[in-house]
Amino acid sequence: AQSVTQPDIHITVSEGASLELRCNYSYGATPYLFWYVQSPGQGLQLLLKYFSGDTLVQGIKGFEAEFKRSQSSFNLRKPSVHWSDAAEYFCAVGAAGAAGNKLTFGGGTRVLVKP
Amino acid sequence: SQTIHQWPATLVQPVGSPLSLECTVEGTSNPNLYWYRQAAGRGLQLLFYSVGIGQISSEVPQNLSASRPQDRQFILSSKKLLLSDSGFYLCACKGGVNQPQHFGDGTRLSIL
C-alpha cells in the first residue's frame, strides 16, 4: 500500500528566507507525485506535479520540487518566502492505472511566516 | 479548464438529521470524482470515488453514502448524521489520463 510522510507538522520561517518542506513516500512502482496548498477554510490548490521526465519540476507561486527516487522523496522548496505563503501544504502520491487513480495524502505541514 | 462547485459552503445540522452535499463540475467530460473529509487538524481521508455514472466505490465504512446521478454531479448523503460526521468535506475531480485532481472550495459541516 502506498503511504506519504510529511515529517514536519509545523514550520516557522521569516519572510524572505528560503523554505523547504519534506515529503517521503512509499510506493512499489513509479509514483505520480503532487504538492497542494490549502489556505484556511479553502480547498486545495495544486502547486506542482511530477509524472515523468525532468526530476526538478517548477510550479506556481515560485515553488519547485525535486523527485529523488533513491531517497523516495519529493521535497518542496521556495527560495524566498512571502507572507502570503502562510498556509498548509500537502504532499500526495498516486499511480496511473490504479483503480480510480486515487491519491494518498500526507498529514500536511503548516507554514507560519514571521514578518 | 475545469471548475468544481460545492454547496453549501457551510452547514450546521442537528444529530440525527439527514444530509445532502452536492458537487458539480464544469469544463470536462467523464471525469473521476472524489469525496474527501478533512477533520480538524488532520489530513485528508478519501471517502468515495466514482469513475462513471452510477459507479461508486467506498473507501471506508461509515455513516455516509454517495451517488452520481449525472456525469458531472456527485452527491454525498446521510440518512442520520452523527457527531463524528463533523468536518470539512472536499469534492475533487480528475479530468483524464495524466491529469491531477482539482478540488472544490469545500463544505464546512458542523453537527450539534
Q: What is the pLDDT of residues B64-101, one digit of tens each?
A: 999 999 999 999 999 999 999 999 999 999 987 778 99
Number of separate domains in chain A: 1
How far apart are alpha carbons A100 and A110 in whole angstroms?
A: 28
Query: Mean pLDDT over residues A41-58, rounded?
Result: 93
Q: Do the bridges between strand B101-103 and strand B87-94 make them parallel or antiparallel, or are there none, so unpaired?
A: antiparallel
In this structure, CATH architecture of domain B3-111: Sandwich (2.60)
Buried b (16+ CB within 10 A) or exposed e, B56-74: beeeeeeebebbbeeebeb
Q: What is the pLDDT of residues A12-42, one digit of tens each?
A: 999 999 999 999 999 877 789 999 999 988 9
Choose among A89, A97, A75: nearest CA to A25: A75
DSSP category for residue A62:
G
Residue A41 φ then ψ, to 5°: 75, 10
Q: How many contiguous H segments (helices) and E segments (strands) does chain B have? A: 0, 11
Instruction: Tell me, yes or no, if A105 comes closer than 8 A to chain B by beta carbon.
Output: yes
Tell me which chain B residues have a C-beta less than 8 angstroms from the C-beta of A108.
Answer: 43
Average pLDDT of chain B? 93
Per-residue pLDDT at B43 exceeds 70: yes
Which range marks the domain in which residue A22 is found?
Answer: 3-114
- Taking CA atoms, A46 is separated from B48, B56, B57, B101, in Å, by 20, 25, 24, 8
Per-residue pLDDT at A97 exceeds 70: no
pLDDT of residue B67: 97
More confident residue, B39 or A7: A7
Q: Considering only CB atoms, which residues of chain B are within 8 Å of chain A?
A: 4, 6, 32, 34, 42-44, 46, 49, 51, 57, 59, 90, 92, 94, 97-98, 100-106, 108
Q: What is the Cα gyration radius of chain B?
A: 13
CATH number of the domain residue A53 falls in: 2.60.40.10
